[in-house]
Amino acid sequence: MTNSSVDRTNQSDSWKIVILIFLRFGFGIPAIFFATIIVCGFILGDYSHLSRLVSELGALGTSSRTVFSTGMLLCSLLSVFFVIGLYRTCKSNGMNTLPAVIILSFSVSIAGAAIFPLPMRMHLIMGMPSVFMVLSPLLGIFLWNKTPHLPYFKSMSFLALFIMSLGFLAFDPNLFIGYAGLKQRLFHAGWSIWFFYLSYGFSQL
């Protein structure tokens, strides 16, 4: 084997390690997200995770705004690298990249929540792309269903899709009155499950 071939092999192996690290961010993002909102809740003191929205933790004038913004921006940054890992793995395995790329809608929304706090109008506008996150597992069911070496793919996709969809109950104030925070967190639980699974499943690829 020539030196150039060895160099190319070493570069390929190094890139695979980098991609694997990016894929592992799928475990870290939900952990950082929920740790952030729990810590911010403690900082505010009288905050109820069942009745109050996540964005209230980073609202203008709150003592938890700095911690909230830092945690959300970190989640956004790591999610971009996570998408890169998913995208490269899709390309390497001949898979459709659309379910992975859609996750960038999360990256945009979570960064917007940090940069434009409540009650700024831009906060609501920047938060809108997150609704497209539900398309990631939905499209994955159709576009990745024949991918080998993805254990429990259909069951995990449907689970993430179902729980994420329950989060849309937040748009109906007449359902589960007084539990707006709980309804919103169902959406966050759904994408967290999806991230966990993608991190695990794609690492196997």
pLDDT digits over 1-39, tens only?
565 555 566 677 788 999 999 999 999 999 999 999 999
Kindly state the tokens that stand for 104: 């960038």
pLDDT bracket for residue 118 (50, 70, 90): very high
Q: What is the mean pLDDT of the chain?
A: 92
Rounded to an integer, what distance in angstroms lies between the CA atom of residue 156 and that of residue 141? Answer: 10
**pLDDT tens string 29-43:** 999 999 999 999 999
String of DSSP letters for 95-162: --SHHHHTTHHHHHHHHHHHHS-TT-HHHHHHHGGGGGGGHHHHHHHHHSTT-TT-TTHHHHHHHHHH
